Amino acid sequence: MSENKNAENCNHVCEGCSVADCGSRRPVNMKIEPNELSSIKKIIGVVSGKGGVGKSFVTSMLAAEMQRRGYRTAVLDGDITGPSQAKAFGISERASGNGQVIFPAVTKNGIQVISTNMLLDDEEQPVIWRGPMAAGILKQFYQDVYWNDVDYMFVDMPPGTGDIPLTLFQSIPLDGIVVVTSPQELVSMVVGKAINMADMMNIKVLGLIENMSYVECPKCGEKIYVFGQSHIEEAAEKHGLSVMTRIPLDPRISEASDAGSIEDLQIEAVKPAADLIEKL
Ligand code: ADP
């Protein structure tokens, strides 16, 4: 797919073009529809500026919390180079289909999940698809999977603001995004980029979640800010956003992700974010 670098060699094919301010971007609707058997009421994208901040963990915890609250919930793992949802939910089966639709895996609590890991014979195999192909597979996850009566779908978005996240922003009708950051990040820059991208696509930013925010002393409960005081409040204020919650560093999180039992883990700090999503 061609990428128009400036207005002079613009071919007016806006899909896949990452030039935001070319002056000739047309408000074309590139949204895709799920297949006719599917029903999805609300779609929340979970984004981050870079990998490793806990975006996938936040996605799975939000899904687990909403399912616990009685909503029918789904996870579309769009993090193509670091797909971790299948493992976190203890799913080892391959995706199956009937020639018409693809069936998601269903976790023990009933969460519907699809991930590129479920397409690979060996989950340690790297995904070597180029951008357009990877974006195409993710669109297929939305369009060709039979999403059975879903109240909340959480999309674990690829990190950053590159080609693949851009395509997902353009094509999946997101009702809002949640931005996950960690205190080590240059929060204001990351937030600024994510917000600008969401703004350009008319997508609402629901708020920020700071992960790995602090460690809580198991004896006295004191909060220790191992990475120093964060600047998330200032960044949020600057952009007129709210900090949905701050999640501590907690060894139970990596243990549960590795053991495939993320659904059984309850982290108090996730609940305020779920409360806000419930009001959406
Ligand atoms: P991302 O999706 O942003 O790349 P992940 O959700 O995969 O990041 O998290 C990276 C690693 O850090 C994983 O092993 C995950 O289990 C662990 N992790 C994430 N958040 C926490 C936390 N708050 N406390 C402890 N470990 C965490």
Residue nearest to atom 14 of ligand 1 (CA): 254
For ligand 1, the distance from its centroid to the CA atom of residue 54, given in whole angstroms, is: 4
- 3-class DSSP assignment, residue 78: coil
Nearest ligand 1 atom to the CA of 257 is 16
- Yes or no: say if 235 and 208 are a contact pair by the CB < 8 Å rule: yes
Q: Is the domain of 1 the same as that of 77?
A: no
Which residues, other chains included, contact 138 with Cβ-Cβ below 8 Å and sequence gap of 6+?
76, 78, 80, 164, 167, 168
Domain residues for the domain of 228 are 32-278
Asked if residue 54 has its Cβ within 6 Å of ligand 1, the reply is yes
Q: Is the domain of 142 the same as that of 54?
A: yes
Task: Residue 132: count other Cβ atoms within 10 Å of its Cβ.
Answer: 14
Residue nearest to atom 9 of ligand 1 (CA): 54
Q: How far is CA 125 from CA 8, 15, 85, 119, in A?
A: 41, 29, 16, 11
Read off the pTM.
0.89
pLDDT value of residue 108:
94
Q: Is the domain of 166 the same as that of 263?
A: yes
Q: Distance between CA 71 and CA 184 in Å, rounded?
A: 34
Amino acid at 152: Y
- 3-class DSSP assignment, residue 270: helix
Q: How far is CA 94 from CA 86, 114, 129, 139, in A?
A: 10, 10, 19, 18
- 3-class DSSP assignment, residue 36: coil
Amino acid at 5: K
pLDDT-derived band at 159, boundaries 50, 70, 90: confident
Q: What is the CATH number of the domain that holds 228?
A: 3.40.50.300
Q: Is the domain of 218 the same as that of 181?
A: yes
Q: Which of 46, 50, 57, 268 to mutate to test the pocket of ligand 1 (most atoms within 8 A of CB)?
A: 57
Asked if residue 56 has its Cβ within 6 Å of ligand 1, the reply is yes
Summarised one tens digit per residue, pLDDT across range 61-116 is: 999 999 999 999 999 999 987 889 999 999 999 999 999 999 999 999 999 999 99
Provide DSSP, 208-267. EEE-S--EE-TTT--EE-TT-S--HHHHHHHTT--EEEE----HHHHHHHHHT-GGG---
Q: Is the domain of 56 the same as that of 16?
A: no
Does 4 have pLDDT greater than 50? no
Nearest ligand 1 atom to the CA of 213 is 23
Q: Is the domain of 3 the same as that of 100?
A: no
Q: Is the domain of 13 the same as that of 141?
A: no
For ligand 1, the distance from its centroid to the CA atom of residue 185, given in whole angstroms, is: 14
Nearest of 158, 155, 157 to residue 44 by alpha carbon: 155
**Count of structural domains within the chain:** 2
Nearest ligand 1 atom to the CA of 59 is 6
